[in-house]
Structure 1
Amino acid sequence: MLTNAARAFGTVRPTFKHPYLPHTAESRAKAMAVIGCNRDEGCDLFMDIPGELRCDSLELGEAMSESQVHAHFEAISNKNMKASEGPFFLGAGLYRHHIPTVVDHVFQRSEFMTAYTPYQPEVSQGTLQALFEYQSLVASLTGCDVSNASMYDGATSTVEAALMAARISRRKNVLMSPSLHPQYSEVVNTYAQASGAIVPTTVDSKGCTDAGFDALIDAVDKKTACVVVQNPDVYGNVHDISALADKCHENKALLVVTVPDMASLGLLASPGSKGADIVVGEGGSLASPMSFGGPQLGCFATKAKYARYT
Structure 2
Amino acid sequence: MLRVIGIGSLDELYSDIPLEVRLNRPLKVDGFASEQEVRSSIEQLFKENKSGSDYNSFLGAGIYNHYIPAAVKAIVSRTEFQTSYTPYQAEISQGLLQSLFEFESMIRDLTAVDAVNSSLYDGSTALGEAARMAVRATGKYKVIVPRNLHPDKLSVLRNYTEPVGIRLEAFGYDEETGGPDLNDLQSRLDRETAAVYCEVPSFFGTLDADVVRIPSLCHEKGALSIVGFDPISLGGLKPPGEYGADIVVAEGQSISSEMNFGGPGLGIIGCRGENLLRQIPGRLIGMTTTINGTDKAFSMVLQTREQHIRRERATS
8 Å contact from structure 2 (residues 113, 271) kept in 1: yes
Q: 1:246-285 alignment to 2 at 5 Å?
A: 246-259=216-229, 261-285=230-254
Match 1:134 to one of 103, 115, 129? 103
1:123: Cα distance to partner?
6.5
Q: 1:87-98 alignment to 2 at 5 Å?
A: 87-89=56-58, 92-98=61-67
1:231: Cα distance to partner?
0.5
8 Å contact from structure 2 (residues 119, 267) kept in 1: yes
Match 1:182 to one of 151, 154, 161? 151
Q: Specify the alignment match of 1:243 in structure 2.
A: 213
8 Å contact from structure 2 (residues 131, 161) kept in 1: no
8 Å contact from structure 2 (residues 171, 181) kept in 1: no
Q: Specify the alignment match of 2:173 in structure 1.
A: 205
Q: Specify the alignment match of 1:16 in structure 2.
A: 4
**Distance in 1, Cα, partners of 2:104 & 2:74:** 20
Q: Specify the alignment match of 1:229 in structure 2.
A: 198
Match 2:124 to one of 155, 163, 174? 155
1:187: Cα distance to partner?
1.9
Change in CA separation of 1:290 and 1:62 when aligned onto 2, cut-off 3 Å: same
8 Å contact from structure 2 (residues 179, 208) kept in 1: no
1:178: Cα distance to partner?
2.3
1:109: Cα distance to partner?
9.6
Change in CA separation of 1:65 and 1:264 when aligned onto 2, cut-off 3 Å: farther
1:216 matches 2:185:
yes
Change in CA separation of 1:175 and 1:73 when aligned onto 2, cut-off 3 Å: farther
Q: Could you tell me which amino acid in structure 2 is paired with residue 202 of structure 1?
A: A
Change in CA separation of 1:154 and 1:75 when aligned onto 2, cut-off 3 Å: farther
Change in CA separation of 1:168 and 1:83 when aligned onto 2, cut-off 3 Å: same
Q: Which has the larger radius of gyration?
A: 1
Q: Could you tell me which amino acid in structure 1 is paired with residue 172 of structure 2?
A: D
- What are the ranges of 5 or more consecutive residues in structure 2 without an aligned counterpart? 8-12, 83-90, 280-314
8 Å contact from structure 2 (residues 80, 96) kept in 1: no
**Mean CA deviation greater in 268-277 or 239-248:** 239-248
Q: For each residue in 1:65-108, what CA deviation from the matched residue of structure 2 results, as whole angstroms up to 9, or x when unmatched? A: 99588778777766654112355338821222122334456668
**Distance in 2, Cα, partners of 1:146 & 1:287:** 21
Q: Could you tell me which amino acid in structure 2 is paired with residue 199 of structure 1?
A: R
What CA RMSD, in Å, does the superposition of the two structures yield over aligned residues?
4.0
1:301: Cα distance to partner?
0.5
Q: For each residue in 1:137-175, what CA deviation from the matched residue of structure 2 results, as whole angstroms up to 9, or x when unmatched? A: 111111111111101111111111111111111111111
Q: Could you tell me which amino acid in structure 1 is paired with residue 180 of structure 2?
A: G
**Distance in 1, Cα, partners of 2:189 & 2:33:** 64
Q: Could you tell me which amino acid in structure 2 is paired with residue 145 of structure 1?
A: D
TM-score normalized with structure 1 length: 0.68
Change in CA separation of 1:251 and 1:284 when aligned onto 2, cut-off 3 Å: same
1:281: Cα distance to partner?
0.3
Change in CA separation of 1:110 and 1:77 when aligned onto 2, cut-off 3 Å: closer
8 Å contact from structure 1 (residues 152, 297) kept in 2: yes
1:15: Cα distance to partner?
7.1
Matched residue of 1:191: which SS?
helix
TM-score normalized with structure 2 length: 0.67
- What are the ranges of 5 or more consecutive residues in structure 1 without an aligned counterpart? 1-12, 18-23, 26-39, 44-50, 114-121
Q: Specify the alignment match of 2:304 in structure 1.
A: none
How many residues are matched?
258
Counting strand residues as a fraction of each chain, which structure ranks higher? 2
